[in-house]
A and B are shown apart, each in its own frame.
Chain A
Amino acid sequence: MAFENLSDRLQMAMRRVTGKGRLNEKDIDDMMREVRLSLLEADVHFRVVKAFTKGVKEKASGEKILKGLNPGQQVVKIVRDELEKIMGEKAVPLTINEQGLTIIMLVGLQGAGKTTTVGKLAKFLQGKHGKNPMLVALDVYRPAAIEQLKTIGQELNMPVFEKGTDVNPVLTAKEALGFAKDFNHDVIIIDTAGRLQIDQKMMQELIDIETAVNPDEILLTIDAMTGQDAVTTTKGFHEQLDITGAILTKLDGDTRGGAALSLRQVTNVPIKLMGLGEKLDQLEVFHPERMASRILGMGDVLTLVDKVTDNIDEDDMMGMMEKMMSGKFNYNDYIKQLKMIKRMGSLGGILKLIPGVGKAMKNQDIDEKQLVFVEAMISSMTKDERKNPRLIERSSSRRRRVAKGSGRKVSDVNRLIQTMQQQVKMMKQMKNMDPSNINPNNPLGSIPQPKQKKKGKGKGKGRFRF
């Protein structure tokens, strides 16, 4: 996950401090050097790093801290607050007109991910805002760029307005406006060709398009893996166009994504959205304050909550919780649960959002095929077996039959049964848990975690139990 390494480094830098009762000047200097290097390693722009460590040092050197009871914790808090300050305090929403047409234009360097993001954004606006988008293909330079957008349009079942590669993009843009109005589209999303911010001729084209269609949003698409140059790029685009926001792409990689920290600080351009995968539904609102937590390894619980609420029918969920807690959970429910999880998106992605899990899973890959295997095994059970998990627990011939039917081994079936039992047990414990005992700083700490440490051996490697 992005930022994971940064949080590792910061945590390591902080660990030395956390055990300590008092900090002297040298402790703080040492720590600031670690913070500085780790931020630089994370591709945060060096000027931002400078300002950041200076701010943290000033606050940390205050007398109150040095005499405080737990200076380590206080410094961590200062680092976090400062990070949040740089990232921008709140998510800045897209400007979407309630009435009439909203025009959005994507710009950026070559290969940043504009065309894919245009498709994602269209799906996002259709799903979250109930809009009726139309896509406009203005990349007449890269071979097959228009075909790419058309394929995406087909997949989304949305029209793509294009005039081939021989028509001037400015003219096409103008025409697209009229077309959108005639066909009652309320959002148009314009894909432009990738270009260098120092290419005067190509930048002039963007300025002409801007003048011609007067977009509500001009979004700079920027690769999360960008190094120190991110600031130069953003500045260049911003000086010539009225950039209203940025979209950070490829954040599902293992980049530390420090560019995100720099952008707002140096250029004042808010990051509005982030791309988290190659599929068209993998675009999310960028929440700077959550990102700051993520940097510090505190997990991104809020995004998880959003995902769950977006994808799960509440009644379904409550019914299932009730069943689980009463111990009547059976294989039919299990498969329902699996399907919910699948709907939420990539399994690995979800688990990483849970605090603590991101780190634990760092080198493990969640094999989504396992889900398919589990489904196959459950499908090989009879109706009665699915309703009553004890049948299969008690009979080895039933287990053999299920293994055969699903093409798995008996040991796989046994593991499934174990997982099922564990889950029921865990849910029962949860039910008996007194909410007043929950540690507010570590709400999951009071829940007995299923044993996960056995991973890394043979077939069960990378399996996560449900």
Chain B
Amino acid sequence: MGFFKNLFSSKAQKEKARKYKVGMDKTREGVLSHLKEVIETSKSIDDTLFDEIEEIFIMADMGVDTVVKFVDHLKDTVSLKGISEAEALKELIIDEMFKLYVQDEVVTSNLDIVDERVNVVLFVGVNGVGKTTTIAKVAHEYLNKGKKVLMVAGDTFRAGAIEQLEKWAQRVGADFFSKPAKSDPSSVMYDALNYAKQNDIDLVLCDTAGRLQNKKNLMNELEKIHRVIGREIEDAPHETLLVIDATTGQNGLSQAKIFNEVTTLSGIVLTKLDGTAKGGIALAIKEELGIPIKYVGLGEGLDDLEHFDLEEYMYGLFSGLF
């Protein structure tokens, strides 16, 4: 019974979670506040209530498999502990959720970036998830930490992608590397890394073209990009981040699986969490593949990228309950 009390008694925690809450409060129709309603209007604990709870979690895109398993477990626990009041369910749900996702987990959301080497971070993902914008935000963060940052325009395919990254680079004051549109992205990486070595760059942020994970040829291209980076700089890329749009449904799992096969992901960036979507798919990804969420995007401003904190995120999810 520890997590529930911990979470909601610690003031510092609440303050830290404020930003998440603000971001996620924009929800007009709070998904999980339904949970409150459902539980509070239910007199007894029965199958109908469990069905409704199941639906609410599914609505947060938390992964059908995970949710079905979770609710089954909930049912067992309820009968085991002889819980009969619906109100007591709230506490149980939160405790079980934390056990499922948080327990024994010491995950740092910091990127693996160290001094005395050229650090390379590769950003991958399907089309339109916000890779380019995320790169600008990460660049901004590390420029503020006094690093010399290079942004590499690896999306040579989509119209305007190079210009988009270039504008961001100017805005945040990062170095920028590009080759003409339609260039082979691997050759862009090759040249960019050489540029980085010659110019004492601390951190190279590599953009890539959005690609759907079922496009074999494009995934091969990505594999090559990954390989070329590793050949130029030992152990690079030091981080490969999959950018996922919070509105994504179950397809997010397929994205994570296939991108992970091709590039070995080190983390997830969950963008657009300031909308009405809860981004529960990131939890499903963590549960199924063990890939940690490193950042969440909470707006279009340069400062609207937060290091992910699972507890805070859970707090954001469940704050509507009370």
Chain A residues at the B interface, C-beta cutoff of 8 Å: 37, 40-43, 46, 50, 109-113, 115-116, 141-145, 147-152, 155, 196-198, 223, 225-230, 232-233, 236, 250, 252-256, 258-259, 278, 365, 367-368
Nearest A-chain residue to B254, judged by Cβ: A254
Residues in B242-287 with C-beta less than 8 Å from chain A: 245, 247-252, 254, 272, 274-278, 281
Report how far A43 CA is from B164 CA in the complex, Å: 32
Number of A-B contacts (CB under 8 A): 155
Min CB distance A6 to B, Å, is 10
Please name all residues of chain A whose beta carbon is closer than 8 Å to the beta carbon of B181 when the two chains form the complex. 151
Residues in B177-212 with C-beta less than 8 Å from chain A: 181, 212
Binary A-proximity of B49-65 (CB < 8 A = 1, otherwise 0): 00000010011110010
**21 A-B contacts (beta carbon < 8 Å):** A37-B68, A42-B250, A46-B55, A110-B130, A111-B272, A143-B171, A144-B166, A144-B167, A148-B163, A148-B164, A151-B159, A155-B159, A196-B26, A196-B272, A198-B275, A227-B281, A230-B247, A232-B28, A233-B275, A255-B254, A256-B251
B160 and A227: CB pair below 8 A? no
Min CB distance B216 to A, Å, is 4
Nearest B-chain residue to A43, judged by Cβ: B249
B126 and A228: CB pair below 8 A? no
Other-chain residue from A150, A227, A236 in contact with B248 (beta carbon distance below 8 A): A227
Please name all residues of chain B whose beta carbon is closer than 8 Å to the beta carbon of A151 when the two chains form the complex. 159-160, 181
Report how far A59 CA is from B136 CA in the complex, Å: 55
B127 and A229: CB pair below 8 A? no
Chain B contact residue count (CB 8 A cutoff):
50
Min CB distance A109 to B, Å, is 7
A227 and B128: CB pair below 8 A? no
Report how far A40 CA is from B250 CA in the complex, Å: 9
B163 and A278: CB pair below 8 A? no
Min CB distance B224 to A, Å, is 15
Please name all residues of chain A whose beta carbon is closer than 8 Å to the beta carbon of B214 when the two chains form the complex. 252-254
Other-chain residue from B158, B160, B163, B275 in contact with A109 (beta carbon distance below 8 A): B275
B29 at the interface (CB under 8 A from A): yes
Report how far A88 CA is from B217 CA in the complex, Å: 35
Given the interface contacts A147-B160, A229-B61, does A198 sit within 8 Å of B250 by beta carbon? no
B29 and A232: CB pair below 8 A? yes
Report how far A14 CA is from B15 CA in the complex, Å: 52
Report how far A232 CA is from B275 CA in the complex, Å: 10
A111 and B127: CB pair below 8 A? yes
Report how far A112 CA is from B129 CA in the complex, Å: 8
Nearest A-chain residue to B281, judged by Cβ: A227
Given the interface contacts A46-B58, A253-B213, A256-B251, does A111 sit within 8 Å of B64 by beta carbon? no
Please name all residues of chain A whose beta carbon is closer than 8 Å to the beta carbon of B274 when the two chains form the complex. 196
Please name all residues of chain B whose beta carbon is closer than 8 Å to the beta carbon of A144 when the two chains form the complex. 160-161, 163-164, 166-167
